[in-house]
Amino acid sequence: MPRLTEHFDVLAVALAGHMDAAELPPEVSLSVDSVTRAVARDMDAAGFSSAHLVGNSLGGWIALELAKRGRATSVVALSPAGGWNPASREEKRVFKLLRQGHAINRWAAPRARAMMRRSLWRRLMYMRAVAHPERMDPETAADAIVAFARSRTPELLDSEQGQGGIRDLDQLHCPVLIAWGQKDRILPRKRYAKAFQAIPNVQMTVLDDVGHVAMWDNPQLVADTILKFIASHPVHAGSAEQ
């Protein structure tokens, strides 16, 4: 964030169903579509008609959905979710992994502060999410456990189970960079990146020695990747949203 805010007006949003996000209306179920529409409303409230969109995992999927709605000047999607077919082995695998992870984080949340002071526990809890969990700041690691535990992830998974991932990628016409963590163990590149090749003129890259949440492993590399891509696609009044 500090690197990006040196160059752009940055809006960091909380996704609906996650900590610090505004609640959806009671009649609206949690889904990728409702989360996307909530982020669009956040953009409207902040005065962003379009922006350079950046997202990781589910955030990458949401950024691409917003691009289909004409809200993106460009997109950098970091290990984006959604690269699977309905009821496929890839979909079943990642949904099972996320359900298990949510349950484990709910168990760990009440004791997260004490646990994350020890590098062994950081390695155990984050071995899939980052390449070097022992390097994580203990407070950041504890906060993320609590945030995941309090999220409505199971509800989101229930609404999307069997529906397949992101569709109509050929409708994307803004510049798109798909950047995959070399050591991503949640969405391994060889299993989940192929679907995004359907994006017209997509650029794809691998971020060395980082995991699924690349920002925790190497924030400098991630910031440099974003800034370099945006610089190669300038606009007259650039503004960035992450």
CB contact at 8 A, 54 and 78: yes
How high is the pLDDT of residue 235? 66
The amino acid occupying position 15 is: L
- How much is the average pLDDT of 70-75? 96
* Domain 2-84+166-241, CATH class in plain words: alpha beta
- How much is the average pLDDT of 50-61? 97
Residue holding tokens 């990628």?
Answer: 169
A 10 A CB-CB count for 14 gives: 14
Domain with CATH 3.40.50.1820 in the chain: 2-84+166-241
Q: Please check the confidence at residue 238 and state whether its pLDDT lies above 80.
A: no
- Chain segment 204-217, per-residue pLDDT in tens: 999 999 999 999 99
Q: Please check the confidence at residue 30 and state whether its pLDDT lies above 80.
A: yes
Give the count of alpha carbons within 13 A of 17, CB side only: 22
pLDDT confidence of 233, banded at 50, 70, 90?
A: confident
- Chain segment 149-168, per-residue pLDDT in tens: 999 999 999 999 999 999 99
Q: Please check the confidence at residue 239 and state whether its pLDDT lies above 70.
A: no
